[in-house]
A = this chain, B = another copy of it.
Amino acid sequence: MECSTIIWKSGKDDLILTDRSVNITMAPRTTAQFEAIREKRREKIILAAMELFSRQTYHNTSVADISKQAGVSKGLIYNYFTTKEDILNGILDYLFAIGDQMVAETRAAGTPKEELRHLIGQVFRFLHQQALISRMLIPLALEMGKFDFINEVIDRKMRDYLGLLVQIFSDMDYPDPEMEAWTLGVLFDGISLDYNVLGDRMPLDRMEQYLYKKYNL
């Protein structure tokens, strides 16, 4: 059995995604093999959509654009997703893994201080990538009514993150760990947002160093 990893090149940065690839056998295709082929196509479409959504916004990307980018026909997309919105859903599932992984890595970092430093480092290190994701999600999150599922996703992620931060600040004996966690969490969101809008006019490196200093890391 072979297990390979694909890296999604987004021009400037890269997103690491695991590809649950399957055995190749000579036997007539089993249901499982069909499933695997389907899964691969699905992934292709998702990656194409992710690339485009983060570059041009969900609304400015047409299904035709996605099909072109993915190298499949427009019709085929509706064989894998019921709706354009459903593609978005697929992307979210994809991204979940990454977030979870970040949290898990942080949790394994050692002392609370090391954890915090690791977390801040990760945020800045993956900022470009996060910015792409934000560019995709923020506008949709702000459209209330439609896209309720996005808010659920954000909620859940927020809780995860907050939980981790609260625990860290608690371990570091902050007097009000919950509010400190909120403050830092909100700050991360602000950084992500502003980086999207301002780009390199933001002094990212200096902000990172400043945070380390503030938290004595």
Which residues does A use to contact B, with CB under 8 Å? Answer: 55-57, 59-60, 134-135, 138-139, 141-146, 151, 154-155, 158, 176, 179-180, 182-183, 186-191, 193-194, 196-198, 201-203, 206-207, 210-211, 214
Contact = CB atoms under 8 A, between A and B. Distances in A.
B182 A203 contact: yes
A179 B191 contact: no
A183 B210 contact: yes
* Main SS at interface, chain A: helix
Q: How many copies does the complex hold?
A: 4
Nearest to A204: B182
Given A155-B198, A179-B203, A55 B144 contact: yes
A176 to B, nearest CB: 6
Contacts of A59: 59
Contacts of A158: 198
B179 A207 contact: yes
15 contacts: A56-B143, A57-B142, A60-B143, A138-B193, A155-B201, A176-B210, A179-B206, A182-B203, A182-B210, A183-B207, A186-B191, A186-B207, A189-B194, A190-B190, A190-B193
Nearest to A210: B179
A75 to B, nearest CB: 9
A28 B195 CA distance: 46
A186 B194 contact: yes
Given A139-B138, A139-B139, A155-B198, A146 B60 contact: yes
Nearest to A154: B197
Contacts of A151: 197
B139 A197 contact: no
A143 B197 CA distance: 9
Contact of A138 (B138, B145, B179, B188): B138
Contacts of A139: 57, 138-139, 142-143
